[in-house]
Amino acid sequence: MQSDWRRPGLAGTIVAVLLASRPAAAHVDYVTEDGGSGPSVTEFFVAVFSEPLNIALLAAGGVGVTVATLGWLRYGDHVEDVTVTRRTLRSYQPYLGWLLRLATGLPLMGAGFGGYLFSPVVTVEARFVQITVAFLLLFGLATRLAALAGLLTYLVGLATHFPTLLLGSEYAAGFLGILVVGPGQPSADLLIRRLILSDGTIMSRFRDVTTVSDLLSGLRIERSVAPLFIRIFLGFNFAYLGVTEKWLDPGRALQVVEKYDLTAVLPVAPEMWVFGAGLGELVVGLCILTGTFTRSAAGAGFVILTTTLFGLPDDPVLAHVTLFGLTSALLITGSGPLAIDRTVVPALRARIGRAPAA
């Protein structure tokens, strides 16, 4: 579940802010019961913004993030640790497919055996389909076809259980990422591919068979677009959870604060806990979605998920594995195409500080 905790500057500041809002950032539906009284959305926002301390905390957080961002733009690319970290993360590219397969296949297998459809709150059993797709993904056999089958299954489920199944929208990112990246190594598909390409093997007779990879190449869908697909659905997932589960359903979110006595961890009003958690998820989601400081945002998301894991003992961990894997994938790939990191950020960096040597 989803970390750029390795990077300084903006990442450190965002992480610090998000730690203060842990662990109300979990899937609220997974750890609370429906029903019960609570404030309306209007009452909730009035409670947050009528308290001077809350406004002061939000203003201080905004100033801190702004200063950290300017510092990162000015000095970040001149820190050798950052350069080495980026280079090391990029070196993990051959294992990206394996990472995505594990992150998607493991929770999908658990969903199949657990009797729910992608999300624990959708108790529809699709055991055969989910377990079959999960097995193929984990084994790396017919990987792209399995990912396509999984994506279609999710879309059918979403159509019949909308909007509830949006809670599992990270699966769409996982399936699309696998479809574009392929099985990676190690995988059964890679073994079969090498047998096909080696002269003298029985499998070499199938060398001219058109594959899904060939079809994607014909459509000019290259591996490099995988981060874009991941960003779209992962960023949406974070932002959606922050707004709908915290801000638009404050009653249940406040149940989380009371259930785990979070005001004893950080002595602020319960409403401020909920608002801060929602704001953190929304900011992280929008940064990932738009490709703005992507690795830092993914790292912040990873920290949110990690603190949730240790802070909420009855939260279904398996349901968040895909988020962990997707945030980790973005740490490896960076933003990919159509990202602010590729356009606005370099221009700001060149204007604010000296552009790093090529």
Question: What pLDDT score does 30 carry?
Answer: 58
pTM score of the predicted model: 0.85
* Interval 143-158 mean pLDDT: 96
pLDDT value of position 335: 94
Give the pLDDT confidence of 237-272 residue by residue, as tens digits.
Answer: 999 999 999 999 999 889 988 888 888 888 899 999
Q: Are 97 and 143 in contact (CB under 8 A)?
A: yes
Q: Where are the alpha helices (DSSP H) in 291-343?
A: 294-311, 321-333
- Phi-psi group of 18: left, alpha or beta (phi > 0 → left; psi -120 to 50 → alpha; rest → beta): alpha
DSSP string, 219-272: TT--GGGHHHHHHHHHHHHHHHIIIIIIIS-HHHHHHHHHHTTGGGTS-S-HHH
| pLDDT above 90: percentage of residues in the chain | 65
pLDDT mean across residues, the chain:
86
pLDDT value, residue 33 = 63
Are the C-beta atoms of residues 292 and 69 closer than 8 Å to each other? Answer: no
Does residue 162 or residue 19 have the better pLDDT?
A: 162
What is the SS3 assignment for 58-124?
HHHHHHHHHHHHHHHHHHHHHCHHHHHHHHHHHCCHHHHHHHHHHHHHHHHHHHHHHCCCCCCCCCC
pLDDT (0 to 100) of residue 12: 37
DSSP state of 355: P
DSSP string covering 137-178:
HHHTSSHHHHHHHHHHHHHHHHHHSTTGGGGGTHHHHHHHHH
pLDDT at residue 357, rounded to an integer: 39
Q: Name which residue leads in pLDDT, 138 or 217.
A: 138
pLDDT at 22 over 90: no
pLDDT at 213: 82
Percent helix, strand, coil in the chain (nearest 5)?
75, 0, 25
Q: What is the pLDDT of residue 31?
A: 58
Contact call for residues 174 and 167 (beta carbons, < 8 A): no
A 10 A CB-CB count for 255 gives: 20
Enumerate the domain spans of the chain.
Answer: 10-93+250-352, 94-223
pLDDT of residue 78: 83
DSSP assignment letter at 203: G
DSSP assignment letter at 21: T
Q: Per residue in 150-174, is it b (16+ CB within 10 Å) or e — as a string?
A: bbebbeebbeebeebbbbbbbbbbb
Using CA atoms, how far apart are residues 254 and 276, in angstroms rounded to an integer?
12
Tell the burial category of 180 from Cβ atoms under 10 Å away from its Cβ (0-12, 13-18, 19+).
buried
Average pLDDT over every residue of 288-312 = 90
Least confident span in 18-22, 78-82, 164-168, 222-226: 18-22
- Top mean pLDDT of 36-50, 65-79, 139-153 is at 139-153
Q: Is the pLDDT of residue 1 over 90?
A: no
User: What span, in angstroms and rounded, lies between the C-alpha atoms of 233 and 43?
Assistant: 31
Q: Can you read off the two tokens belonging to residue 73?
A: 């733009």
Tokens of 85: 């970290």
Answer yes or no: are the C-beta atoms of 140 and 193 closer than 8 Å. no
Distances (CA, A) of 147 to 97, 114, 192, 215: 11, 20, 18, 15
Over the Cα atoms of the chain, what is R_g? 22
Where residue 293 falls (left for φ over 0; alpha for ψ -120 to 50; beta otherwise) is left
Cα distances (Å, whole numbers) of residue 12 to 82, 89, 292: 13, 18, 15
Looking at residue 307, its pLDDT comes to 83
